[in-house]
Structure 1
Amino acid sequence: MRTFATWLFLLALVAVLRPAPAQAEVCQDGELVIRFAHVVAARGHPKGEMATALAARVNAEMDGKACMRVYPNSELFDDNAVMEALLMGEVQIAAPSLSKFEAYTLKYRLFDLPFLFEDMAAVNAFAYGSKGRELLRAMEDVGFVGLGYLFNGLKQFSATTPLLVPQDAQGLAFRVQPSAVAVAMIEALGGTARRLPFKDVFAALERGVVDGQENTWSNIYTQRFFQVQNGVSETNHQLLAYLALTSKEWLDGLEPAVRIQFLSIFSEVLDSFNARAEAINARSRQKIIEAGGTVRQLTPEERRAWVEAMKPVWDQFRDRIGQDMIDAALAANGAG
């Protein structure tokens, strides 16, 4: 039987061995503490690297006024819990994927429409245009302020079997984000959609809970999804973007000079990393190949078949998203 002293020793040992946050910034007395919680790796991922770079600049340029701590890999909160944590003041910055906001607004379903954007140049043209900026304010009535979009890139499909034409997905179970559009997309392919937290995807693939998934190159590489899949098909079918946001109460409560400086730094870092997102994904794609993973490029005919299979999905969500938003997104193709 363990004594009380033994239990105390074991508890202390656990505390010592528990991994520390990747960004363990020591804040000074009197500094404004800004906590940024996210769910991805601190390195090799656009969001993780952006958060780390943002903290470095805030801690250097706002030293004595503000201190930022970053908590990656769901160390503090996952994307399902972080929204409430923002309103409670337990974190100040989060950047969930846009599909996480369906409980607050359906407008962000726009970004989930399959094959809406031709490339990342079109994404940027829309996001920095009037309609994209209008969407940043879509949740102000429930207490959230959008600070800007952080782009990961376009998504690819993978599965336990090669995926070259839509019929290859029939009967397979795919992990999707909590997005009604994503569910409809998989069902249009004749598959089954299963909503799972990001942190559970690798285990679900490894154990056969799901047969496949859809994600960006950086996620597929950093989370090792390619290791438990037959290959990755380069479909570029859907955008994965995050909305960096905070609570309106917290932002409005900052001293004006502090708020202006913080928002200026945030905007500069965000723009810089959005410009680098394509390069990060290109490197991740190459690393998958170098690690022995299979990447399948579709022929133009094969890709057109995927587009045709997913066309009906648009009609299901057109009214809730708004035709004006869809038109603005389509107009961005070729305008980047």
Structure 2
Amino acid sequence: MKKLLLGTIAAAVVASSSMAADYTLKFSHVVSANTPKGKAADFFEKRLEELSGGKIDVQVYPSSQLYKDNAVLKALRLNSVQMAAPSFSKFGKIVPQLALFDLPFIFRDAKHLHDVQDGEVGQALKDKVTAKGIVALNYWDNAFKQLSSNKNALTMPEEAKGQKFRIMSSKVLEAQFHAVGANPQMMPFSEVYSGLQQGVIDAAENPISNIYTKKFHEVQKYLTVSNHGYLGYLVVMSKKFWNSLPAELQANVTQAMNEATEKERQYAAELNDSQFELIKEYAKKTGKLEINELTAEQKEAWRNAVSKIYPEFYSDRKIGKELIEKTIATK
């Protein structure tokens, strides 16, 4: 009876707290709560509620509990959900310029990437999204992509010739692999493991987190640390909800989001490093996986081979020459 009473009191406190809030913000995302995105979303929840003095009640729904990424943008426009963090590819039809992040070797390292995202280019891209009726807030990391293969080590671009690479739907990625004589194959992510295992495809590109969690390293003979491409997310908010907030609470959202972004980038880097160590342990223990890291000369050879595709995307209806050049010039 005592436990029941305490539970009833706790429920009443939660209900009272929710009723006291002036605004309810539902944050929908598709990954589990223990991922970098999930942990950052939970951090954002606590921080915004603190900054707003409880005026905004943030409710995080992980693991597609509310919407999948392919449906969440419509839900945002309807204000059925107030915040989400889809991958860049989900914005392809409304802002194709976000394909900038697919361009191979356009980012020198993580610092350059974040300087681009937090600077003029990143703001220009966010403005394009906001102009489509969805408020773009910040960029969150997944990680840089690596190359894997069952044919050879892929330390030089000519070694990719003739190999069947799985890609997600992207004109940039298609052009990237055509540039080195490979055969890009669009394939659902859920089919990649079996595709590699059965030889339907020879090779793939993935961040370490995908490779480790989906056990791709167990069905590939070679892993090349190339950091050639990038996968990330754009955190967005319902424009109707944003406009309903007074300036003070908008400032609270911005501050909480900036702090959450720093945390998310930290979480993503830590996860990448820890999972890479586990892959290296597997390689050492089994002898079934060869890991190679591109030297400066090898990386330059790859960059020269694939960067020739950049002019194919100079059209403003694709990415735009100015955005590409400003990205490269960002210090």
Tell me which interval the TM-score lies in, with the shorter structure as reference length.
0.7 to 0.9
Q: CA deviation at 1:196?
A: 4.2
For residue 134 of structure 1, the aligned residue among 111, 124, 138 is: 124
Aligned to 1:317: 313
Match among 54, 66, 70 for residue 56 of structure 2? 66
SS of equivalent to 1:282: helix
1:247-276 CA-partner distances (Å, limit 9, x unpaired): 222211234433332222112111333355
Q: Which residue of 2 aligns with 1:254?
A: 245
- Normalization by structure 1: what TM-score? 0.80
Distance in 1 separating the partners of 2:135 and 2:161: 40
Match of 1:216 in 2: 207
- Superposition deviation, residue 209 in structure 1: 4.8
Q: CA RMSD for the aligned pairs?
A: 2.8
Measured after TM superposition, the shift of residue 146 of structure 1 is 0.9
Q: 1:290 to 1:38 in 2, by over 3 A?
A: farther
For structure 1, the 5+ residue unaligned runs are 1-24
Structure 2 residue matching 1:117: 3-state secondary structure = coil
Q: Unpaired runs of 5+ in structure 2?
A: 1-13, 284-288
C-alpha separation between the residues in 2 aligned to 1:172 and 1:63? 56
Decide whether aligned partners of structure 1 residues 259 and 174 sit closer, same or farther in structure 2, where only a CA change above 3 A counts: same
Deviation of 1:284 (Å): 2.3
Q: Offset of 1:135 from its aligned partner?
A: 1.6
1:170 aligns with 2:168: no
TM-score normalised to the size of structure 2? 0.81
In structure 1, the residue corresponding to 2:19 is in which secondary structure?
Answer: coil
- What is the CA–CA distance in structure 1 between the aligned matches of 2:59 and 2:239, rounded to whole Å? 20
Identity of aligned residues (%): 33
Residue 304 in structure 1 maps to residue 294 in structure 2: no
Map 1:1-336 onto structure 2 (within 5 A). Answer: 28-29=18-19, 31=21, 32-43=23-34, 45-59=35-49, 62=52, 64-162=54-152, 163-198=154-189, 201-202=192-193, 204-206=195-197, 208-292=199-283, 294-320=290-316, 321-332=319-330, 335=331
Which moves more between the two structures, 231-240 or 209-218?
209-218
Query: 3-state SS of the aligned residue for 1:229?
Result: coil
**Aligned AA for 2:252?**
Q
Q: What code does the residue aligned with 1:330 have?
A: I
Mean alpha-carbon deviation: is it higher for 106-115 or for 77-86? Answer: 77-86
Tell me the SS of whatever aligns to 1:283: helix
AA in 1 matched with 2:140: L
- Residues 299, 85 of structure 1: alpha-carbon distance in 2 compared, 3 angstrom cutoff: same
**What does the per-residue CA deviation read over 1:260-300, in whole Å, with 9 as the maximum and x for residues that have no partner?**
32222112111333355433322221122123454321234
Deviations 1:46-99 (A, max 9, x none): 323322322333455557433333333444433222222222333222222223
Pick closer, same or farther for the CA change 1:255–1:300 going to 2, 3 Å.
closer
